[in-house]
Amino acid sequence: MRDNIRARMRHISAAIFALALALAGACSLALLPFLFRRREMAYARAKNGACLGPVPVKTGTHLLHTRELEMRDNIRARMRHISAAIFALALAGACSLALLPSETRIALAQGFPFVSPFTSVQPQNTTDFSNPPISFQAQGVTNVSTGTAVPQTVPIGSVAYGSFGNATTYISGQVFLMNIFVPFDMTVTNINVLNGGTVGTNACIVVLYNSAGTVLRTSALAGATTAGANAFQTYALTSSIAVQGPGRYFVGIQCNGATDNVRTVAASTFAGLVTQSNAGVFATIPAITPPTTFTANVGPIVYLN
């Protein structure tokens, strides 16, 4: 928390300095037309003496008054000054922003609060301003691994576990997967899967993917035997991983047989979900092409902690 406060203060100070520099440049440039105008008036008085009346000047076959010529010259001069001022202001603003740290530029693009982007979890963009990789910390939650703050594939608790969704029998080597939304930064240690009513025979592996379908973590590839009918079973990842939020991830489960079952999301029950079922070989967890559509009875009911 102290480091975040110090970082924010540094970014805010840098932003204020850059804005002040740009404002000072703008004010200075705003005086240019006035200063040039005073110089032109002095020059005109010195040239024409005390004569204020129209003095004919012959140009070809036309006669133009001195005041008319001065008005045209003034308009041209002002246009040059305005163009120069706009260019210089744009250059000053660009130079000011270039002096800011990259994280401050990201903050200015999307606002505060923010923390440093995660560079190894989610795929990053090549430019700061197109879609900055900003993440957020949970506020008012001391432990994001318990309670209503835990990320879930679907809202859990409104229906008894034994009646929740559909009981889908595993297929050996098949990966059943589904999207999950992580609303804030957290460390994931376990993936908890809701078993169906038949357990105790097959061994299963869970996997966490990022939004691009890259494998981030799995549980032990030897698998863990299913246990606890119509209850959540905790699968520990081989090592904890800090994930960035808000962000979309995918969770999957793969088993070595076709006896036990898992509770999955049934048709016409939730919106905004995508699911997939991929054939494979047990203990081989490849990257995936993220799903874009929903298929009933293949998306596991899962929460992270």
Please count the structural domains in the chain. 2
**Amino acid letter, 61:** T
- Residue 281 included in any domain: yes
Q: Are 203 and 89 within one domain?
A: no
Provide the residue range defining the domain that includes 87: 2-110
- Residue 252 included in any domain: yes
The more confident residue out of 20 and 224 is 224
Domain with residue 291: its CATH number is 2.60.120
Contacts of residue 170, defined as CB under 8 A and 6 or more positions apart, other chains included, come to 176, 202, 204, 255, 257, 258, 259, 260, 261, 262
Average pLDDT, the chain: 78
- Residue 125 included in any domain: no
Mean pLDDT comparison of 18-27, 72-81, 204-213, highest-scoring range: 204-213
Beta bridge partners of 65: 56
Residue 142 reports pLDDT greater than 60: no
Q: Are 91 and 156 within one domain?
A: no
- Residue 19 included in any domain: yes
Query: Last residue of some domain: 110, 136, 159?
Result: 110
Q: Are 255 and 154 within one domain?
A: yes
Determine contact, residues 170/260, Cβ cutoff 8 Å.
Answer: yes
Beta bridge partners of 97: none
Q: Are 95 and 213 within one domain?
A: no
Q: Provide the H-helix boundaries in 31-155.
A: 32-48, 66-98, 102-110
Q: Are 293 and 151 within one domain?
A: yes
- Residue 132 included in any domain: no
Q: Are 167 and 25 within one domain?
A: no
- Residue 257 included in any domain: yes
Q: Are 94 and 169 within one domain?
A: no
Query: Last residue of some domain: 95, 110, 125?
Result: 110
pTM: 0.61
- Residue 121 included in any domain: no
Q: Are 6 and 76 within one domain?
A: yes
What is the pLDDT at residue 238?
97
Q: Are 160 and 97 within one domain?
A: no
Q: Are 106 and 151 within one domain?
A: no
Residue 119 reports pLDDT greater than 90: no
Query: Last residue of some domain: 81, 110, 139?
Result: 110
- Residue 256 included in any domain: yes
CA-CA distance, 28 to 22, in Å (whole number)? 10
Residue 171 reports pLDDT greater than 50: yes
Q: Are 182 and 276 within one domain?
A: yes
Q: How confident is the model at residue 50 (pLDDT cuts 50, 70, 90)?
A: very low
Residue 73 reports pLDDT greater than 60: yes
User: How far does CA 224 lie from the centroid of its chain?
Assistant: 36
Q: Are 23 and 99 within one domain?
A: yes
